[in-house]
Structure 1
Amino acid sequence: MVAPIRSASGRAAYGLRIWFLCAALEAGLRVGREAATLAPGERGLARQSSVRLAAGVAAGKAVEDDKAGTRGRPDPARLLAWYDRHRRRLPWRAPPGERQDPYRVFLSEIMLQQTTVAAVAPYFANFLARWPSVEALANAPLSEVLSAWAGLGYYARARNLHAGAKAVAEGFAGRFPMSVEELIALPGIGPYTAAAIASIAFEQRAAPVDGNWERVVSRLFAVDEPLPKARPRLRALAETLLPDARYGDFAQAMMDLGATICTPRKPACALCPWNDVCAARAAGEPERYPVKLAKVARPTRRGVAFLAVRADGAVLARSRPMEGLLGGMTEVPSTPWEETLPADPTRHAPLKTAWTALNTPVTHVFSHFALELSVWRADVPAGTAAPAGHRWVPVRGIDDEAFPSVMRKVLARI
């Protein structure tokens, strides 16, 4: 009695092996039938075709056996054909086959890091309207860029965007470098963004491996190693999938496949152009991939926000240090954000006045911790001076300030 195959990788390997053997048998029978009708000289050519076909099947089996993934690949032409029919129409994209504006790619890719397309679209339109070129963005004050970014989150990206624009404008006369190596040397541009700009804007052979790519590749090859340790292996496998041309379209096709078909939950495998060569589908458990370690619970930090409101409606504010969390953004003064509240929060108050604790704290979730901010309010006379390092923001100027989302929640208590 043959023992059942219990592991996911074992079932995936078995499924793919059966598929390849069936394909080889079917192809061999077809070639044999055709060879019987050929002249003797033509039969030799048919035998050569059969050998080449068998070699192709063996190469496909090698992909399944060798999960390092360097000896075979799914057909990229099938994915590109799918993309030509089903691509997403996004405001920063050019039609298939057309060269894209590198500035639009640069702007959109930085905005899209850890942020959804729906959230990015209005910000992209606003930035492009205000700063239509990389030179215009480079010449803008950082404070204005931060203000325009407010609400999109991950504010270091706004600083990196501005620094990268200045580097291109000043170091490259406003023309983006084309190679991954040159792009990755720019401020704020990492391996993913460099590969995205190089492939999409300049048709360079590069694999911009984002979360969508990781999901597709990990399922194609049933990579059992968990993230983030598996990332070098996934990047190596991704390189094996690249076509001989249309690198930009292929990069976006992989993104679209992951976003619309090979989704984290309930993937539409029946509609996938690569469903017949997917190891995870063969194993019957695509949602298992990519394998991830159990999430560590976010710690909670606490603080007190001091909402000082002048009689004329102005609000006391200050700028955060340029380095670190929310660097350069505008904030309502507060205590340090720590595990426990300070014994006497008024020691951190910006003004010596009567403070009233409001009932409900403000809550906000950052990528690595949750925050609970108690809001203490003080109403002060119109002539009250701002202490050193602080300023009064007129009520009509609040929308123009670079208040992040957590601070806008505090301001909603006015």
Structure 2
Amino acid sequence: MEKSKFQAVHSRLLQWYDTYQRQLPWRALPGKQPNPYYVLLSEVMLQQTTVVTVIDYFNRFIARWPTLQDLAQADQEELYHQWQGLGYYSRARNLHACIAMIAQQHGGAIPQAPNELIRLPGIGSYTAASIAAIAYDCPLIPVDGNITRVIARLLAMKTPLPDLKNSIFNLVTPLKPTRAGDFAQGLMDLGATVCKPKNPLCGECPLASHCQSHKTNQQHLIPFSKPKPFKPTRYAYAFWCQDEEGFVSLKRRPETGVLANMVGLPTSEWVDDPSSLPSVEPEWIKIPKTIKHTFTHFHLIIESFITKDVNQSNVFKVKPQNFEDYPIPTLMKKVIKTCLNLGN
């Protein structure tokens, strides 16, 4: 981007941001210094999750753990429980490890430099740049989905996603914005509220006069996307086993992989071919409703059965009224709901 154009965009965007910025619980009020802990926590939560979804979770975390030192002392199980429903559970595991490392190796102070931030668990190049810019005003531009879209439209870039993000990263790396945190958040807000993926509000955009896509009426086409890769479907059985005293068998998933460390009903192996599922025993009672759930890389179809015994290791028993004490993911809550409706 030419220096003169960047300066013009920079100035107009900051003027717009000063008036129209979103009020978010992790953002510092105008004239106040950002809280680096709030910035880090929100950026981890916002990875692959919308702002609307994150707000309630962020507020609950801050109410429970007001400072980084408080969260550093949290039990991992407790953190997982508060995270349930937010998805992408590896982020919770990485957040726990990240905060512990900051407390133990950095004296509880979140590093300022991107090359130090990126060494923390769960902190990639974008998150490191975002924390550095927003929390410490480091003069750089993080590149998320909103910023990618805004810049791609400004310059009418034809490179398709996902390669486009790397092209924009290389393009903005030499730029050194002042008020870097406000500039980054201004780009994010502009992408979220005006330069939207569909039906962008070009008439409300402060950068419209500089936008090459707007001038050529291509804003609805950019950014271009490659065809989405095929997403396979996997299959599993879930088992509701409740004894005469009302206790239900639950099981914790492995420490790595999908839904790591989360708790739910015991299931069969998740297989690619439904013919590979175990044979249905005569005494099993099938739940009529099938659960379909989509993960990042595959769909999952779960059929549920009421059984007398699951014959699996590491199973423990809990009464349904106490399920809320365990980190149960959204997928398994759907399954449990169907079983409760039939089982009771």
* 1:82 has 2:24 as partner: no
Name the amino acid aligned to 1:198. Answer: A
1:66 aligns with: none
Q: Is 2:40–2:131's contact at 8 Å kept on the other side of the alignment? A: yes
Which of these residues, 198, 203, 224, is aligned with residue 265 of structure 1? 198
2:305 aligns with: 376
Q: Is 2:291–2:334's contact at 8 Å kept on the other side of the alignment? A: yes
User: Alignment RMSD, CA only?
Assistant: 2.0
User: Deviations for 1:286-315, whole angstroms, at most 9, x for unmatched residues?
Assistant: 011111101123211111111112233322
Alignment of 1:12-23 (within 5 A): none
Distance in 2 between residues matched to 1:124 and 1:137, nearest whole Å = 13
* 1:287 has 2:220 as partner: yes
Distance in 2 between residues matched to 1:177 and 1:111, nearest whole Å = 19
* 1:106 has 2:35 as partner: no
| 3-state secondary structure, aligned to 1:148 | helix
Distance in 2 between residues matched to 1:149 and 1:353, nearest whole Å = 38
* 1:412 has 2:301 as partner: no
User: Deviations for 1:174-204, whole angstroms, at most 9, x for unmatched residues?
Assistant: 1111111110111110111111111111111
Name the amino acid aligned to 2:111. Answer: P
2:87 aligns with: 153
| 3-state secondary structure, aligned to 1:309 | coil
Q: Is 2:293–2:299's contact at 8 Å kept on the other side of the alignment? A: yes
| 3-state secondary structure, aligned to 1:302 | strand
Evaluate the alpha carbon distance shift between residue 154 and residue 343 of structure 1 in structure 2; reply closer, same or farther with a 3 A threshold: closer
Alignment of 1:346-361 (within 5 A): 354-361=283-290
Q: Is 1:262–1:272's contact at 8 Å kept on the other side of the alignment? A: yes
* 1:134 has 2:68 as partner: yes
Alignment of 1:47-126 (within 5 A): 63=1, 72-73=5-6, 74-126=8-60
Q: Displacement of 1:75 after TM fit? A: 2.9
Q: Displacement of 1:317 after TM fit? A: 1.1
Q: Is 2:268–2:277's contact at 8 Å kept on the other side of the alignment? A: no
Evaluate the alpha carbon distance shift between residue 212 and residue 191 of structure 1 in structure 2; reply closer, same or farther with a 3 A threshold: same
User: Deviations for 1:144-166, whole angstroms, at most 9, x for unmatched residues?
Assistant: 11111111111111111111110
Evaluate the alpha carbon distance shift between residue 110 and residue 85 of structure 1 in structure 2; reply closer, same or farther with a 3 A threshold: same
Aligned residue pairs, count = 338
Q: Is 1:78–1:274's contact at 8 Å kept on the other side of the alignment? A: yes
Q: Displacement of 1:338 after TM fit? A: 1.6
Gaps of 5+ in 1: 1-62, 64-68
User: Deviations for 1:67-108, whole angstroms, at most 9, x for unmatched residues?
Assistant: xx6775243111001000000011111123422101101111
Q: Is 1:168–1:174's contact at 8 Å kept on the other side of the alignment? A: yes
Name the amino acid aligned to 1:102. Answer: P
1:363 aligns with: 292
* 1:336 has 2:269 as partner: yes
Distance in 1 between residues matched to 2:246 and 2:311, nearest whole Å = 14
Q: Displacement of 1:116 after TM fit? A: 1.2
2:115 aligns with: 181
Q: Is 1:110–1:193's contact at 8 Å kept on the other side of the alignment? A: yes
After superposing the two structures, state which structure 1 stretch, 338-347 or 358-367, moved more.
338-347
| 3-state secondary structure, aligned to 1:230 | helix
| 3-state secondary structure, aligned to 2:235 | strand
1:32 aligns with: none
Q: Is 1:70–1:240's contact at 8 Å kept on the other side of the alignment? A: no
What TM-score, normalized by structure 2, do the two folds share?
0.93
Percent same amino acid among aligned pairs? Answer: 40
Distance in 2 between residues matched to 1:369 and 1:94, nearest whole Å = 38
Distance in 2 between residues matched to 1:394 and 1:386, nearest whole Å = 19
Greater gyration radius? 1
Evaluate the alpha carbon distance shift between residue 246 and residue 305 of structure 1 in structure 2; reply closer, same or farther with a 3 A threshold: same
Evaluate the alpha carbon distance shift between residue 328 and residue 294 of structure 1 in structure 2; reply closer, same or farther with a 3 A threshold: same
Alignment of 1:212-231 (within 5 A): 212-231=146-165
User: Deviations for 1:222-261, whole angstroms, at most 9, x for unmatched residues?
Assistant: 1101111122211133346652x21111111010000001
* 1:401 has 2:330 as partner: no
Name the amino acid aligned to 2:327. Answer: A
Distance in 2 between residues matched to 1:108 and 1:152, nearest whole Å = 12
Which of these residues, 238, 249, 253, is aligned with residue 186 of structure 2? 253
Gaps of 5+ in 2: none
Q: Is 1:70–1:237's contact at 8 Å kept on the other side of the alignment? A: no
Distance in 2 between residues matched to 1:194 and 1:379, nearest whole Å = 50
2:240 aligns with: 307
Distance in 1 between residues matched to 2:299 and 2:287, nearest whole Å = 20
Alignment of 1:38-53 (within 5 A): none
Which of these residues, 203, 215, 230, is aligned with residue 137 of structure 2? 203
Distance in 1 between residues matched to 2:174 and 2:12, nearest whole Å = 15
